[in-house]
Each structure stands twice: as C-alpha cells, then as structure tokens.
Amino acid sequence: MTIFNTAKKAAKFTFVSMPLSIFGWRNISSNHQHLKDLVNTMRNPHCPMCDKGVMFVHKDAEPDENALYPWTCSDGCGFGVFTQRDQDSINKVLFPLITKKGRAQLNGMSEEEQTGLIKSHTRQSRMFWVFAALCPLIALYSLATGSVALTCISILSMTLPFSILAIKWSYRAWQVRTGTLYVEGAFKQFVKRGLWIPGVEI
C-alpha cells in the first residue's frame, strides 16, 4: 500500500503539479484567493472592536459541537464570535453592534472631521484608480519590450484588485457623506447608480 501511495504521489507530481506550475497555475490560484479575500473585505462586516479588520472564517476552520464556526478579526485584535459559516448569520450577529457604534462615531464627529474623512477615503479611491489604469499600460509596455507573456498577464491581472479597492474606498466616502451606514442593499444601489465611477459625484 505504501509503494502504491508513493507511486500515486509521484505520478500526480509528474503529470499534474509539474505541468501546472510551468504554466503559472500556482500564481493564478494564489491571485484568485487574493481576489476572493478583497471581495470579502467589501461584503463581510468590519470588526466592531477595532474597526480595522473584517470578520472571516479560516478556510480550514472546524465547527464546534453546535455546528458553529469561529469568525475572527482579520487584523488580529482578538475579537471573535461563533455562528454559522454563511454571511447572513454573521451579519445578523454583528449588525446591531456595528450599527450602534458606527452611528455613534459619525454623530460624534464635527462637520470638519467628516469632511476630512470623506477627503481621505476619496484620495485613496483615486489612488487605486490610478494604479488600475497604469496596469494595462505597464503590461503593454512589457509585452512590447519582449517580456514573457505570463509576466504581462500577471501585471494586467492586478487591474482587478486595484479596481476593487478603489470601489471600496469610494463606497466608504459615499457612506460618510450621505450617512448611509449599514443599510441593507446600499452597496447594490451604489453600484447600480454608477457612483463608483471616477468623476461621478459621491
């Protein structure tokens, strides 16, 4: 049985892992996971304790005896809760806490402080839009100067995560400006109305 397992692993490495690594599959897989994490930073609730990280479940997390999973802060502040793995469950648990804290913070800000926060979020959004616009140009330049095609594709693929981050900070600025905090369906309306597009009044 041991010989069979060893042969099986060797065959998998020779005929699967090695060819895939030649074509850059590991990099593609890693980039895909990174994109999923970025999307989750927009969809998953922020940590109500530190406001820096987002709540998430480790991909290898095991449920407890009640079939509940541990949600922890991505920033490592130590805050965590147990609930089901789907987003609706964690939103129901944290929504009251986040809403109360977020509105209290916003109401406690002066108009000048709110304006400063909006400008800060807007600057970050525009910075990431610039990065997103530069990626295709750099990829084309690299291709024209004889770089490997996979390198150009890798550079071009960075357009998407930069765009996601740009939309995220544009959305945060819009939330502060309009006072639309933790309203169900707000992000969907934000996207449908095109408020994420540079130059559109947020």
pLDDT at 50 > cutoff 50: yes
Among the listed ranges 28-32, 70-74, 84-88, 99-103, which one has the minimum average pLDDT value? 28-32
What is the pLDDT at residue 18? 39
Mean of all residue pLDDT scores within the chain: 76
Per residue in 1-18, pLDDT (tens digit) is 444 444 344 334 333 443
Closest CA to 129 of 202, 46, 53, 52: 202
